Structure 1
Amino acid sequence: MLRLLLLSLLAATSSASAVVIRHDVDDTEYRVTAAEFPALVDMPGEGHGVLVEPRWVVTAAHTIPSQPGPWQVVINGVPRNVERVVTHPGYKLPPHALIHQAMATGEAVLVLVLLASSDDIAMLKLSEAVTDVVPAPLYLGSDEANRIVRILGKGAAGTGAIGHDPQGPNRTELRRAFNTVTSAHERWFCYVFDAPPSGLPLEGILGNGDSGGPALIEVDGQWRLAGLASWKFLEGDVRTVWPGRYGQSACNVRISHYASWIEGVIAGEPPAAG
């Protein structure tokens, strides 16, 4: 299955997301309950999304299951039926030949180039409106750079000193961490996992298994959805390198870039490049 091959191969470039923490801070400081962010959506198997309207979820496109529906997502502990999937027309899935080449050589630069040029975003329409969870508001500002983001995920866990096992498990306990956005442009904003003594007190980075999870920015006491976990960059042989170590970068789908597309999908307008 192409998606599973992609996820196992690209610890360095996609399949982002659970929280990898500082080695000098106890894990209990990062663990949180579901009440921390009820709008978090669990995709089938692994991966996340975010409830943004009572019947609409936004996620990274590469988290969409390859098997045909019907299938369900889980919100606030309750399974919810998915009625329809709308994938951005600019989403690009790496071809088999490119993945096989990276598997053979350990070098995935061209895969990274393709991912960076892709619109890795999709919308899920639920069969029924969610009435027990308040949808997350969107962050529409263009000033993400240098802002602190709050990240959440249930995927692979580890510490920045050693990273996490790229073979999983990719669904663990819910954790949240913080980081500072270092760059923001068009489709993406990114941040770096700084080693102590640099970085924030609860500094963290996304690991494997929770792509589509939220990156939130606080505005007037309210946390707004600014990004979706998408891919990571790290140096070395992608067949052997451990993701989640200090100095690595994570990139998120930039919600402000796609706000018009999201609004158009919800309104029932034909999807267009955004």
Structure 2
Amino acid sequence: MKSRIVSALLGTALLSLAAAGPAPAVIILDSTWADQGGAVGAEGDGFGAARALAMEPQFCAIMSFFDGEQIGGSGTWIGNDQDGNAYVLTAAHNFGDGADPANWTYYTRAGTELTGKAVHIHPNYDASSDETPGYDLAIVELNGPVEDCDTPPLLYGGDDELGQLATMVGFGSRGIGSVGQDDKYYKSEDAAAARNIIDVVQDPAPDGKGGNQLLVDFDSEDGSSNVFENSDPLPVDEYEGVLGSGDSGGSLWIETDEGWAIVGVNDWGDDAVYGSTGGFGRISTQYDWVKSIFDARFTNQ
């Protein structure tokens, strides 16, 4: 596969991933928030469109992770095995060093509660290293099936992610581009979604210690916050945004000729305002790893 790492970035290479951590919120455009009823004193009322997007039927496989006090992670059901156990694609850092599936209670979008049986962490992921964020991937095996969706989603098997319009979905906190995350914006625990253009595609590094990422940036309405050279500085549409805290492990989707497919898993973000960036573990290059755990459905592209 031909390498397509985009080197023309503003600032330091790949935005100093060492300083990035789990992204801090579902952040949307100020203008969309205001159009949806957001205002001072009614901050949580401006996310109707983002919630409605997440509730579209193609995203029925999304799941939230609950730690007993709050939602702290997201994932996506990718199918059930012959024994009736569900498998969920998510981020490895949701499990810390112990990889204990009991860290969470797992809820489908429709509210079905499930418990964890096992966690499979990507072998290239190193929680103590800044060199493996693209492999921040895990698959959780649950004690029971997911039955809220008729068909498991596709995983993307092609190599044409660059420049694609993508939808990101998760259950995390909320905010707007001029302010960032704030609890006052978060008045519901249902899912929210945003859209963005995949501006950077990285192939896996030969040593497994770099690459394997899809990167997006959060463009402001006036185009002044563009991060990646040669990319459109304006929002892709009114749904422009990024994911964040509680969205770790959330899925990035594109529409293909075969249907909607997952192209990435939300791993990190460097800020929560206009000009922030987000990184997703790339799925298309991880066919063998996924198939070694569960026989998920991939596109043929």
Provide TM-score, normalisation by structure 1.
0.75
SS of aligned partner of 1:91: coil
- The yes-or-no answer on 1:93 pairing with 2:127 is yes
Q: Which runs of 5+ in 2 are unaligned?
A: 1-16, 37-45, 81-85, 204-211, 223-233, 296-301
Q: 1:86 to 1:146 in 2, by over 3 A?
A: same
Counterpart for residue 298 of structure 2: none
* Counterpart residue identity of residue 74, structure 2: H
Map of 1:230-245 to 2, 5 A cutoff? Answer: 230-233=267-270, 243-245=271-273
Counterpart for residue 30 of structure 1: 50
Map of 1:49-60 to 2, 5 A cutoff? Answer: 49-54=75-80, 55-60=86-91
For 1:143 and 1:89, the matched residues in 2 are separated by 25
Q: Choose the corresponding residue for 2:235, options 199, 222, 226.
A: 199
Counterpart for residue 148 of structure 1: 165
What's the offset of the Cα at 1:221? 7.1
Q: Percent identity?
A: 28
- Checking the alignment, whether the CA contact within 8 Å between 1:155 and 1:171 is kept in structure 2 is no
Q: Choose the corresponding residue for 1:188, options 213, 216, 221.
A: 213
- What root-mean-square deviation, in Å, do the aligned CA atoms of Structure 1 and Structure 2 show? 2.8
Q: 1:167 to 1:250 in 2, by over 3 A?
A: farther
Q: Choose the corresponding residue for 2:21, options 10, 14, 17.
A: 14
What's the offset of the Cα at 1:41? 1.3
What's the offset of the Cα at 1:132? 2.8
Q: 1:171 to 1:184 in 2, by over 3 A?
A: farther
For 1:167 and 1:255, the matched residues in 2 are separated by 34
For 2:145 and 2:244, the matched residues in 1 are separated by 31
For 1:42 and 1:214, the matched residues in 2 are separated by 11
- Checking the alignment, whether the CA contact within 8 Å between 1:193 and 1:246 is kept in structure 2 is yes
- Checking the alignment, whether the CA contact within 8 Å between 1:12 and 1:232 is kept in structure 2 is no
Counterpart for residue 113 of structure 2: 79
For 1:84 and 1:132, the matched residues in 2 are separated by 21
Q: Choose the corresponding residue for 1:249, options 254, 257, 277.
A: 277
* Counterpart residue identity of residue 84, structure 1: A
Could you report, residue by residue, the CA deviation over 1:206-253 in whole angstroms, capped at 9, with x for unpaired residues? Answer: 1222100011000137221111100113xxxxxxxxx32111110101
What's the offset of the Cα at 1:265? 1.2
Q: 1:47 to 1:79 in 2, by over 3 A?
A: same
Q: 1:204 to 1:50 in 2, by over 3 A?
A: same
* Counterpart residue identity of residue 262, structure 1: V
Counterpart for residue 98 of structure 1: none
- The yes-or-no answer on 1:158 pairing with 2:175 is yes
* Counterpart residue identity of residue 124, structure 2: G
Counterpart for residue 152 of structure 2: 135
Q: Choose the corresponding residue for 2:138, options 95, 114, 122.
A: 122
Q: Choose the corresponding residue for 2:73, options 40, 47, 57.
A: 47
* Counterpart residue identity of residue 107, structure 2: V
SS of aligned partner of 2:131: helix
Provide TM-score, normalisation by structure 2.
0.69
Could you report, residue by residue, the CA deviation over 1:77-109 in whole angstroms, capped at 9, with x for unpaired residues? Answer: 111122111111211112xxxxxxxxxxxxxxx
* Counterpart residue identity of residue 268, structure 2: W
The count of aligned residue pairs is 231
* Counterpart residue identity of residue 60, structure 2: P
